[in-house]
Structure 1
Amino acid sequence: MKKKYLLPLILFEVLAYGQVGINTPDPKATFDITSKNTNGSTAEGILPPRLTGNSLHNASILGVYGAAQNGVIVYVTEPADDANQIGQTIKVDAYGFYFYDATQNQWKKLGSSSNIYNSDGTLSNTRHVIMDGNNLGFTGGRIGMGTSAPDPSAILDLTSTHDGFLPPRMLEAEMNNIVHPAHGLVIFCSDCFDDLGCLMVNDSKDPVVPNWGSLCSSNVPTGHITTLECTTATISGAVHSGVSASGVNATVPYTGGNGGTYPSASFNSTGGVTGLSANLIGGTLFEGNSNFVFTITGIPSGAGTANFPITVAGKSCTFTVEVDDFTASITSLTCGSAIFSPGTINQGQVYTGTLMIPYTGGNGEPYPQQSFTRNGLTFTLLAGTLATGNGSLVYNVTGSATASGPMTIPISFGSISCNVSTTVSTETSLVMCGSSKAWKTHNEGADESFDPNFPIKQIHGNYYQWGRKASVATVDTPPSNIIGWDSTFAPNLSWNASGSELTPIKAPQDPCPSGYRVPTRTEWITLHNNSTLSRLGSFIDIDSNFGSALVYKCGAKQLMLPAAGYRDYSTGILNHRGYEGVYWSSTEDPNGRSYVITFDASQVYGVSFFDSDLRSDGNSVRCISE
């Protein structure tokens, strides 16, 4: 019996302490298998246990595989059913080789079938890819981040409820050093607009001449100032105890404005006198020093000092308004019998006259001076004494009406109020400072029945190619390409027969009405240099934005230019409505171009240096008298 088991014992000793070779007498590893034949005449290889995914799932239920089986290899002939792809078999979703990973208690695929290029997968840790100057491009399909189903309309769909999209951040100098930026390239400029930062887009189609536009709120930064000077505030008009405040303004200086915007706000009076409000209309700060103007409204609770704590553009202070006693009283005012003298008020023209309103029941007491403004006109009731019984209040009226049409003037004296109604005649032209020529108040092609100082669709007017009489588009023309657009250039002298800026002569192709012509470049510069400048609206580049405009002021006169955009020289497509205004001059520039004045949210081009457009562009026209 001992001899019978001697050979197996010897073999066991070899297996326990040596190396095993199959089809080789010289194994190179613990277990070395060499193919019997290499000519393909016999089946060679290792055949591990073959199981279905459901079998492995059953084994996981029975607890067959644990730490002792770490590294076991099997061949899965069928994936586990969807319901069985949980626990240890959560990734057994295809046939192939699998190994058991005891550290994660999961069966994992072996081989190329486990990569994310031909099956879904999950990154187990952060991965870093070094591009080393190479490009990575995706061809076809859509990319979704945060979603497995990118929207069909998007090539890149970023979905999140807690994270945002962060574009490249750089300094303004670095932005300006980008070589040939693509049309539509977006970056975040971290130090633009006095270090506030802003999302910027290159809206130039010429990569050699980029034009970086801001995408901040209202296209300008949030307003910030250095100081708010309440101690030097000035008060115009008088406030009387128990009388509704009217025509009273507080002017508060500030320093260090950054050109940003500030919202409308209202601040209530505190301290000894309540019932009043200081109201500020939102707007755009000057770059540097200027003033905020607050309108005081309400009925003061009594005589004394009203304190107004204000906070604007990040700074706070308190200004004061004195409220005096008011003992004069009347029984009634008869606004329906009010008389203007002279009786006609023309929009944009200086008016000097009086407004007389009868009253009854005067108590013979004195009253202080009162003043208020309405539609560009200032109404001043000089200090005086009421008649005992019946009499009239006589207001001195000065200024220039800014809007035409019906005008309502609220009149208050003590506790008695009424409204005077009149009509302001429409003014169609204005002589601005620095010139004897009158500018039309509306763009050519605009509806002149609408107020030229209120930016709406009806006053945008038509678009004209230089040197042609007929318009090429109206405000209602669709913004897309215009079929049959003529991109040829009109010849010289088409709008100015003399070719001289000093002695221009209207040519037959000039689109302006009789007595008017297209202004020269010099006349645009004169208007700019002799006026104060302001802007209305948001200056956002949207086809439906009709509310942006540039405003030139000369004393009480105001000339407003809507930001109507322009029609492209090659196709007639609409560009930059609401963001930019482009107005022709009759002055010629060589090579098929002519001079223009162009403005946007921050700049006016063509007044301090030359700016010209191709003559086939469709721009706005504002006429000036011959």
Structure 2
Amino acid sequence: MKNFRSLFTTLALALIATAATAQVKVGDNPTTIDASSVLEVESTTGGFLLPRMTEAQRDAIVSPATGLMVYNTTVPCLQVNDGTPASPEWNCISGIMAAPAEASTNGTGIVSAYGTPGCTAGSISGTMTEGEDASGTTMTIYANVTQVGTYDITAGPVNGVTFSGSGTFAATGCQEITLTATGTPTAAGNHDYSLNTTPGETVTATVAAAIGSYPAGYVHCDPANPTVVNDVTNPATGEIWMDRNLGASQVATSYTDAAAYGDSYQWGRFADGHQCRTSGTTTANATTAVPNAGNPWDGLFILETATDPDWLTSQNDNLWQGVNGVNNPCPIGYRLPTEAELEAELLSWAGTNDTGAFASPLKWTATGIRSPSDGSFAFGSNSKLGFYWSSSVLSNLAWGLSIQDSDAFNDLDFRATGAAVRCIKD
């Protein structure tokens, strides 16, 4: 202790003399000083000992100067502040560096396995939607911890989204970890996210299609100009609809505006191309409602001359009902209206005829119908017939809204008939 006090007394006196001598040496050969040094410490029996402290103690130093050195006992290593007093950046400069992160956690903790068996499989909480910020969505994983310590885990980026989280395991056994999503999904569907650990786990996240986008496999009759999805509200009913028919290139400018007629669907069929007003025809009835499956009737208008024509060999009433209905041709978030919804729309018009139809906020038009017997179009008397499908059925027929020059009402028609579709927002 006496020698220690003597050394620092000498150092203090030497520093006081700095102004006069410009150089200071402590230890052996005090009169021999290297010309390049301001302060020299020489000894063959001892070393130069910097302050030793934990990382927490180091971080408690207020405004540490650039170049300040300490020995970090937490890492452990000799560190220097390569940053600024306001934004310190501590880096190791000694030969002994921090122990490499554990591959199972990217930290100091150790995990024998993630998910099953042993713990619980990972899962996703929250909804991700194509084109929308994924913040608020989380991934929960479970780790079988064998040694407590830190972790730093990510999964992704996949499909524009990364899940990440860090923390400290305070106990062994199965521990829950929450990873938070950042980014914006670029595509709908199922996407696999694998942890950046060994061992790891893969968790599947489902991304919903953007509202207003068209279902996968949708065939647009004019691929360069798919039907624009804009909303219009009927204030009398409060219902929100697309402002034009499926396949229409514009909102109707008159009741007989051909550019606003849109496509002509057989009831319950998907938009596989059969709905195009110039599509070819076939006499081969469909044996399945599944579209685009390589069948000879895909994309063709199916002709049927039976007493109650249906494009399917076996009647199927469970088509087109709701946004998730089988073969729903409407954009995501939209669906076919029910017969009751069409009735409410009809009752809101100033007149139940073609004039009232076009004067309504939805601007209905004379779409005509496509004959199930020969595929030709009929527009009724004075070329004023319009017919719009609903999702409702009765026996072997389906309900729709029929508009004529002097009347308008809900009516039933054959399911093989081609008619217009106006989608309602769910």
Question: Is the TM-score greater than 0.5?
Answer: no
**Greater relative contact order: 1 or 2 (C-alpha under 8 angstroms, separation 6 or more)?**
2
Greater gyration radius: 1
TM-score (norm 2): 0.36
Structure with a larger share of its residues in strand: 1
TM-score (norm 1): 0.25
